[in-house]
Structures are given as C-alpha cells and as structure tokens.
Amino acid sequence: FCKLACIDDLPNRGTIKLLILEDAMTSSGVSLSNPHLSISQHPGQPSDDFEVPTFSHDLELEGNQGYDQFGRQLVLTRNQRQQILDGVAKAMYERNEYPSECDFEDAAEALVHRHTCLADNGSPKGTNLGRERCPEVVNLSQFPQSKVEADLEKLRTDIALEIKKTHKVLAGINHCMGKTFALRRQEILNSSPKIQTVENRWLALFLEYVLNLQRSFFAALDHHTERLLALSREAQGQMGSIGHRLSAILKMYDEMQSRDVNVSRTAALHCLPAVLSESDSEVFKTCKSRNPRVLIGPVCILAIISDDEDAVSLQPHQVSIILEDRLVMHSFQSWPDAFLAHFGLVYALHLDYPKPMSSSFLLIQQVFLNVDSEKLKSKVLALKNKL
C-alpha cells in the first residue's frame, strides 16, 4: 500500500482499497496536548508502552550487583554499550518503525527505570543521552500486506521489462515502484549497493516521472525565492569568494531581465550555498559545449553552456546528473528540474549529502520539503527565520 498524494498517480483502471484504522484516541486514551503521553501517565513516569529488552545474564548480573551492594553506576565497556544500544534499537523498531524524539525519551526512561545502574548522575531523570549515544534506528518499511519478497521481486522484473519498451506506461511503472518500495529500501539500506547495481535492478528510479517532488518543492522554492534573492543582495558586499560568487550570479540575473520562472529559481538555488557560507564548486559544475571535458566530482550537477557564455549561466543548454562518477540522468532542459532530481536521488539512494553543501541540502529537506524538520542545525534555523 502507499499514501496517495495525487489522483493522477492512479492507473486508468486502478482499484483503491481503503484501510480504516482504529482511532488511536479511543484505544489508548492519548492526550490531545501530547500524542506520546497517555492521560494516566505523568512526565516523570517511565513509559508503560516500551518493553525493555533482556540483555546477557553476565551484563545484568554485574550491573545489578554493583549497584545493590555499593550504589555505583555500571561503567560500560565498548562491547557492553553496543549490546545495550543494539537491543534497545531492535525493541524500538518493533514498537515503531519511525521513532520520534519522544520515543527515544520513552525508551531511555524505561531503560534506566528498570536498570538503575545505567542512569546518568548528571541529569535529573538519569537519561541525559545525547544524540551521539542514541542507537541508530534505520527506518525499514514492512512488505505490503499478503506480499512476500518473491512477489515484490516479480513486480521488479515486470518494471524492468516495461522500462525497456518504446511506449512506456509511466503510471503503471510509478504504481509498481510504490508497491516495491519496501524491497528497494531494504536493499539500499542493508547492502549499500553501488549506483551501477541500483541502475541494473531499479532503472525506473532514475526516471524524472518517478522522482515526483515537483509540486511541493517548487511551491516552497517559489515562496522563498524573492526573499532569498534579497538576502543575497545584502550579502554580496562581503569580501572574499562568497561575495564575489553572489555578485556574479546577481549580475547575470539582473542583465537577463527574464520573466521565466526557471531563471529566478536557478538564481535562487545558486545563491543558496553562498548565503549559507558554503561552496558549490564541487557540486555545481559547468562546461562549454565545444569542450565538454571537465573535472567532474563523484556527486554533482553538470550544466553545458554555449562557448560565449560566462561561467555563471542561468539558462544552460543541457543539464546532467553525476553520481559516483557515473552519468545517471541527462538531457534536462531546466536547471531547477535537474537539481530536484539530483536531490531526490541522493535522498532515495541513502547517499551522504555533499559535505561542502550539507547545510544547503538539509535546508531543502527540512524547510522546503518539511522532512525530519523537528530539529534544525543552527545555520539552517537561522536562515529559515530570515526567510
């Protein structure tokens, strides 16, 4: 199953199955003010929902004896800490595939309530677990109801056959890609395959139609473009490469005097890294059409411009996407479309954001697309407030 965002995503003769879930408020008595806290539960009490896993006999015996006899906390070795984190992570995933910050807090409180020897003396609740101490819980989706891996593999094969046809049924491909999401995500997260391997198995993932983020992304970008360009004009007076970069982009934008929305979008996206004091030189690449040879990076967007254009071009002839030094998508006529496809692939393939532009990518994810936006880096939060 999948969440339907647009009725156009359905095939011509599609069948919709509605699953009516039981109201969470009637089944568990959840307070409206805090969806993770029941009415009978107070903030100081450990969560009754989280079941603390059982650890090895030696580990529990050592911790309990030391605390009962001498009142001392257990000093964990690296292996013991990893054993605890792995156990808690597994229990959290069984409870909730997509844990929130409150789920982490519930797990920590339940853990120290049951095993007092693990409490942190430096915090009131004994659960002062920083983000670096939290187990990494990877969100793995379950297979669709009544489907097994063999069924999804058959769908994957059908997609591979359809993608080779001259006249593709894109709606059908997109529908099957949604059904096989769980299989694809498990492969990517568990195996971390090379891009070439993903291309061989999931070629449809590299179709612009399948990376369907245009509506939400461009709505947010258009909303912030004017303000982002205004902030860029304020910052272009800075000394150094950032000020020079902003001046070059804005000069080109002002000289064009174009009413094309893609020109404004391209200018805003090119200004974004500089406004965040980041360098885009390793990600945004440009080459001349007569001399297409250029030193590309492992993850970048390559724009081909005419020989008489400046290095900064807001209307390139063609744009391509490079991942792991491989040309994976090309022939984009619009630079913003290429940027969005590039972002979507990096996110879908679970790749690290390019370090020189990590804050820019996080702002796109958390502010523009509102994904995992609960906690923002200080730099991202500062720009969000200015916008």
In a domain, 109, yes or no: yes
Say what percent of the chain tops pLDDT 90: 28
Helix (H), strand (E) at residue 86:
helix 78-95
109 and 60 co-located in one domain = yes
69 and 170 co-located in one domain = no
Q: What is the DSSP letter of 257?
A: -
325 and 354 co-located in one domain = yes
Contact between residue 156 and residue 202 where contact means Cβ atoms under 8 Å apart: yes
70 and 87 co-located in one domain = yes
Contact between residue 252 and residue 286 where contact means Cβ atoms under 8 Å apart: no
DSSP for 137-195 reads: ----PPPPTT--HHHHHHHHHHHHHHHTSSS--HHHHHHHHHHTHHHHHHHHHHH---H
Q: How far is the first Cα of the chain from the last one, in angstroms, to the nearest whole number?
A: 37
265 and 361 co-located in one domain = yes
Tally the domains of the chain. Answer: 3
Q: List the domain range (segments joined by +) for residue 58.
A: 31-133
pLDDT in tens, 276-307: 999 998 899 888 765 655 566 688 899 888 87
292 and 234 co-located in one domain = yes
Of the three residues 133, 161, 191, the one that is the final residue of a domain is 133
310 and 248 co-located in one domain = yes
227 and 324 co-located in one domain = yes
In a domain, 138, yes or no: no
Contact between residue 261 and residue 222 where contact means Cβ atoms under 8 Å apart: yes
* Residues, the chain: 387
pLDDT in tens, 88-131: 888 877 776 666 667 777 888 888 887 777 776 555 555 554 43
279 and 175 co-located in one domain = no
